[in-house]
Amino acid sequence: MEPLTWTGSLSGLNIVFYIVIGLLAITIALSILASLAPSSGSRAIGADGTLAAEKGASGFINMITGYLFYAALALILVYLVGGIFMGTGAGIFGGMAQRFLPVWIALIVTFALSISYKRKLGLYGKLFDSTVGMIGFAIVMFWVYTGIFGGLFDLIVTHDSLSQVSGMKNKEPGTPLRGAEEGDYQWFLLGGDNLARDVFSRLVKGSWVVVQIAPLATLFAFMVGITLGLPAGYYGGKLDTILSFLANLILAFPVILLFYLLVTPEIVLTGIPNYMALFLFVFPIVFVAILLNSRFYTQPSVRTPLLIFVIGVLGWLYLSMVSSNGTIVSTDSYTIPGIPAMLDGFDIDPGILVVFVSVVFVNSPTVFRIVRGLALDIKTRDYVAAAQTRGEGPWYIMLWEILPNARGPLIVDFCLRIGYTTILLGTLGFFGLGLESESPDWGSTINAGRRLLSLYPHAAIAPALALLSLVLGLNLLADGLREESLRD
């Protein structure tokens, strides 16, 4: 069986694609140079009196850049559609495009529904009025769906991400599988790594590690920061001084050094991360309980059963998260028992728990400072004074008056912070900290591939590009959300 080329039967389009990409790069460079030159101030005026496209050479370059950009997108779409139908007949790209079919379907459905109902979806719907925001959202959701379909349901992976296949060590992308049996996928689409494992499958599985940790850990950090930042900014005084001092104390440590200390085996064996989990994971329960109590305070018949149910469910989830194999903390000298195994709904891998707690602990002080600053500003607004005049309680004002009006900056920061968390996860994996050594997370995969980078670059470049694209998508998504939130 012959090795696959990158584009297979579609290789005839390669020269056209290279020409379009080359011209696009040239026009972008010319556009940047033109923007540095003094403006002539000549702009076309539309029929309604508004400014239209710029005249002259600069306007012409921008127009050509736009056409070339859409031409490049059209060619990429041809490669993609051709690959979906032709599979490995369209080479490595075709094989990957076909494996990602569940992701393409999910993206199409998501965009179709979102665009159809965007006027009813608030800020999320307005995101689809921004080209930058849509591109960022598409990239982010691509990796989210890849993690779900590939990491959770194994619909995308071609081989076991931990299995070593004889004769496939450091093989180039598109190498046919030696001794493939019936039902086995015939190729290593992105080649093999230094332990003869499939790089493509490890790339897909690694996305699930990121999807599991980064958004949820960032959400927990926001709940901690919001729960402490709102009263600090609203009340001020000694409470603000004490909480701000603690936040600044944590922020005084370099982030990477703090991460390194928290995930080192010596610290883990002391049980400190488990104690931190016991403390930090309480904040989501506190946040939701205060939120519901302040909203339904005047309706006790609704509030009481709702709080009992919600706190009961969240309490069970909390105990399941902090308890593993029936224990909360287990060291050589003592053990703190957790909930019974029959009530323990799930166990979190110790390595993931340590990284999760570290992310929450490091990000919470920054979120606290942002929320505190927003609360200090918004509490002086007229609608807050009106709520105080109506006799609303402090927590109602904080959660239902101040927090909704701070959602724009917080949503943008949430997207950016997921990107920072993704980079931190990659950094920890690269240094072999936190997660298991055989984990398919992108940082560990890059670290394993860097040792032979000059000879076999594919094993390190593939996860590095995945990490880059996800962080880029999150940044573009944040830019789109910022742009639309400023229009509110």
Distance CA 406, CA 124 (A): 15
**How many percent of the chain have pLDDT more than 90?**
41
Enumerate residues 6+ apart whose C-beta is below 8 A from 430.
443, 444, 446, 447
pLDDT at 474: 92
pLDDT in tens, 249-294: 988 888 777 777 777 777 777 778 888 888 999 999 999 999 999 8
Copy the structure tokens of residue 414. Answer: 């949430």
Six-digit token pair at 109? 């459905």
391 CB-side CA count, 13 A: 2
Three-class DSSP category at 213: helix
Q: What is the pLDDT of residue 48?
A: 47
In 33-159, at which residue ranges do the beta strands (DSSP E only) sit?
43-45, 51-54
Angle between helical axes of 458-485 and 199-235 (0-180°, round to 10): 30
Task: Give the per-residue pLDDT at 317.
Answer: 87
pLDDT digits 0-9 by tens, 78-106: 999 999 999 999 999 999 999 999 999 99
Helices 56-86/14-36 angle, 10° precision: 150
Three-state SS for 220-276 is HHHHHHHHHHHHHHHHCHHHHHHHHHHHHHHHCCCHHHHHHHHHCHHHHHCCHHHHH
Output the CA angle 447-201-180, nearest 5 degrees.
120
What pLDDT shows up at residue 429?
80
User: 59 is written with which tokens?
Assistant: 């306007």
| Partner residues linked to 198 by β-bridges | 192
Residue 357: partners with Cβ closer than 8 Å, 6 or more residues away: 262, 273, 276, 277, 280
φ, ψ dihedrals at 177, nearest 5°? -75, 130
Cβ proximity of 178 and 168 under 8 Å: yes
Q: Are strands 327-330 and 335-337 parallel, antiparallel or unpaired?
A: antiparallel
For residue 431, what are its two tokens? 């240094």
Alpha-carbon span 224 to 66, nearest angstrom: 44
232 close to 172: Cβ distance less than 8 angstroms: no
What length does the chain have? Answer: 488
Distances (CA, A) of 394 to 188, 316, 405, 483: 60, 29, 16, 31
Residue type at position 352: I
Distances (CA, A) of 438 to 162, 422, 444: 7, 19, 8
Gap between the Cα atoms of 187 and 478, Å rounded: 38
Of residues 471, 459, 367, the one with CA closest to residue 427: 471
- Chain-centroid distance of CA 337 in Å reads 34
**What are the sequence ranges of the domains in the chain?**
1-36+54-99, 207-430
- Give the residues of the chain that fall short of pLDDT 50: 46, 48-51
Phi, psi of 344 (to 5 degrees): -80, 105
Q: How far is the first Cα of the chain from the last one, in angstroms, to the nearest whole number?
A: 59
Q: Rounded to an integer, what distance in angstroms lies between the CA atom of residue 163 and that of residue 96?
A: 20
